[in-house]
Structure formats: C-alpha cells, structure tokens
Amino acid sequence: MNIPETKNPRIVVIGGGFGGISFLNQLRSIEAQIVLFDRHNYHTFQPLLYQVSTAGLEPDSIAYPLRKVFRKNRDFHFRMAEVNNIDTASKTIETSIGNLSFDYLVIATGTRTNFFGNKNIEANSMPMKTVPQALDIRSLILQNIEKADRITSEAERRRLLNFVIAGAGPTGVELAGALAEFRKGILKNDYPELDENEMQVHLIEGSDRVLAPMSPQASKKSLQFLLNLGVKVHLNTLVKDYDGTTVITESENFDTATFIWAAGVTGAPVSGLDGDALLPRANRYKVNEFNEIEGFKGYYALGDIALMETKDYPKGHPQVAQPAIQQGRRLGKNMKRLLAGKSMEPFSYFDKGTMATIGRNKAVCDVKKMHFAGAFAWFLWMFVHLWFLVGFRNRVVTFFNWTYNYINYDRAARLIIRPFKGK
C-alpha cells in the first residue's frame, strides 16, 4: 500500500469518525508516522444524517474530506480501505489493499446497525448509518410520494404514503419529526392532488418512552412535540417482522413501502483480538481508563466501540459524539506523553448534556440538572451542531440552508439523483 518506511513509531488508526479525528487533531507535530484507514474518503457528521434523508441538507454539507483534515500533519497518510483483520502476533493489520505493521493501533470503528438477527428486516428495511444509506432513504421517500401521486388504488396509495420508523432514540425521533414537517411544507405545496391526511408517520418504540436515554422531562416534552406534529407514536411495541409490505408488531400491523430501521446499533469490531477483549453482548472492546484494550498493550479503542467501566458509567459511556471526541482528545494527549516517556493520564468524561430536535422551534435539552424545551432549545441545538460541524464551508452552507428552509418552510434538496432500486 505504499506507506514509506520510518524509524519513528507507526500509529495506525482505523476509522475517521469523531473519535479518530479528535485523536489525530492532537498529533499535528508528533515524532511518529500516522496512517489512517477508512472505507470512505470523508468524515461523516452522523448527527445530521437524518437531515440528508429528509432532503433538508445536501450530503456534501455533512461530509468532509479526511485528507483535508490532516493536511498539516507531518508524515500523515490516509488510505481508503477496509480493514479485515488484526494479527497480534506480527502486529500487522490486514486490509483490502494489503498488510501493514504498526507499533500502536487505535480502533475507532464505531457501530453498525443491529437487526437483532432478523434477516427479513435486514433485507427489507432501510438502515441509516452512512451517507449512501441516507441518500437511499431520501430517494425512496420521494419515489414513493411520486408513485402515490400517479396511482388510483387508494389502498396502495395509503401504503406508499405510510412511513414507519422503528426506534424512538434520537435518530428515530428526529427522522419522524422531519418527515412530519415534510408533509406540512412540501406535500401540501408540491403535490396538491394528494390529501395531506393520507400521509402518515408512525414511530414504533419498544420501551415506554421516546428518547429513553434522556431525562423523563425531555421524553415527555418530545412526545408532546411529536404528537403536535401529527406523528403516530406507538410505545411498548416491539417490531416482529417486515416482509417489504407489512410491519408486524405484537399489537398492530402497518402496511408500508418505507420502513426505516433505527432501533439499535452494535459495535463494529475488527476481527483478530481474541480472549476477553470484546464484550459479547455490546460488541464493544473493554478498555481501561487510558482507552487501552484490556489484555492488549499498545492497542486502543475509542468512542462507540470502546467500553470503559467507570463509577459514574458502570455500563460504559453513551454511544454518542461527545465521549468519542473527549476520549480521542485524551488519548491523543496521552500518546504524546507516552512517546515523550511520561505516564498517561486517565480519561474523565465531562457531560456537556444531551439534545434532540423534533422540528421547527421544537427541541429538547438536558444539561446537568436542567431541562428545557422549545424555541430556545432549538436555537441552542442549531448552534451546537454548526459549531461541531467540521469545516468552515460546511458550516456556512448548512447555516444558509437552515435559514432558507426555515423562512420558506422548504426542504430544498428533494432530488432523486440515484433512484433506490432495492438492496
């Protein structure tokens, strides 16, 4: 793979998500060679993927070329490839473009969609973890509305206009809210022959509240927001199957041509670290307070794929952006200390709070013991997301698109560029 030989230690990083890039950001002037692997040539700002799915933002606004992030790092190399295996005996990774030895390995591969073993759901539902998947959802939504507009069968039209989302975590809630706003803003104006009431958004959740990781106050408020937007919320309901036509739950069935699966994720580890490194249930690497994988010296895991048991978080930190960013930063600093012969400092998580947006002027925030909701929370949500978005250009374009969509009740990116033809 044409990585130059070096006398310095070689640090290999797998994954250019929040953990990977915040780690690398610390290493601008380190005496080490850094090689980053990712299957995409861009960083994805995952918290805004749902806006791509619902035609609010262009994909290019929430993606950022990985090579550019590290343009100024010395002896930095990016390779777009799939990492298939880690050979601990020779300290080598095996990738789709060849093998590479390393001195330190940082695994920041995040999570993938969890279908809990249901092959039907895996085959027929739409997951949303990557930009191409989000674009597929965008195409499918628009295609189904186009189809609904041209057919005369009422039953089929209702099926095409029925949108069902499994999982009321942040992704599911934000998607449901955005789809409800799509109905209000777009369906009415662009599809005058379609009856607004025939389009339905169903949100199905197994537990007894939406946004379960947030405070009860936030759950209550966001449920209210969803209901106000006309989303049908089904709590305490487990999805059992989906054959491409009907979503089957214990209590009710839903005919739909668009079933979005946001009901769970599981770790996306790389094979090769045997023993107790990987916790079977969570599929996450068990790490110590320095993010070092237990039993593997010089092997680190960051963010969603890492599980660090602490007093405050006995089951590990939440699988969201902040722990990944903070762990990456800590490990970056520690790596510099390590190479300078100093001892590492343990990670401690600073909880900045949690937020989710449901729609126009409708968001919920938990910050420490404070809970607030509504327009102010919504502005705060926008500000925070713009702040963390990588790249000045992306921030400006996103800010402009939001302002434009807000003023015009529009979602401007509703283009079927690559029709979705099934998986």
Name the site residues for a copy of itself (rule: CB under 8 A). 1-2, 4, 40-42, 58-61, 63, 65, 67-68, 71, 77, 79-80, 97, 131-132, 135, 142, 146, 149-152, 189-191, 193, 391-393, 396-397, 400-401, 404, 410, 412-418
**Which parts of 151-278 fold into alpha helices (H)?**
154-160, 170-182, 188-190, 216-228
CB 30 within 8 A of CB 122: no
254 three-class SS:
strand
> Is the C-alpha dihedral spanning 6, 11, 14, 18 positive or negative?
negative
For a copy of itself, which is the closer residue by CB, 138 or 330?
138
Tokens matching residue 390: 């990588």
Q: How far is the CB of 306 from a copy of itself (least distance, A)?
A: 27
For a copy of itself, which is the closer residue by CB, 93 or 273?
93
Q: How many CA atoms lie within 13 A of 292 on its CB side?
A: 14
DSSP states of 82-133: -EEEEETTTTEEEETTEEEE-SEEEE---EEE--TT-HHHHHHSB--SSHHH
For a copy of itself, which is the closer residue by CB, 191 or 313?
191
For a copy of itself, which is the closer residue by CB, 67 or 333?
67
**How many whole angstroms separate alpha carbon 260 and alpha carbon 217?**
26
For a copy of itself, which is the closer residue by CB, 175 or 413?
413
Look up 181 and say whether it is catalytic. no
Catalytic residue among 82, 94, 146, 174: 174
Q: How far is the CB of 294 from a copy of itself (least distance, A)?
A: 33
Q: Reduced to 3 DSSP states, what percent helix, strand and coil does the chain have, rounded to the nearest 5?
A: 35, 25, 40
Tokens matching residue 23: 């780690």
Q: How far is the CB of 35 from a copy of itself (least distance, A)?
A: 11
For a copy of itself, which is the closer residue by CB, 249 or 398?
398
Q: How far apart are the first and last CA of the chain?
A: 31
CB 24 within 8 A of CB 13: yes
CB atoms within 10 A of CB 215: 16
Q: How far is the CB of 267 from a copy of itself (least distance, A)?
A: 25
Q: Which residues pair with 126 in a beta bridge?
A: 260
Containing 142, the helix (H) or strand (E) segment is helix 131-150
DSSP states of 43-64: EE-GGGHHHHHTTSS-GGGSEE
* Residue showing tokens 């998500």: 17
Q: How far is the CB of 178 from a copy of itself (least distance, A)?
A: 17
Q: How far is the CB of 23 from a copy of itself (least distance, A)?
A: 20
Q: How far is the CB of 179 from a copy of itself (least distance, A)?
A: 17
For a copy of itself, which is the closer residue by CB, 75 or 309?
75
Known catalytic residues are 174
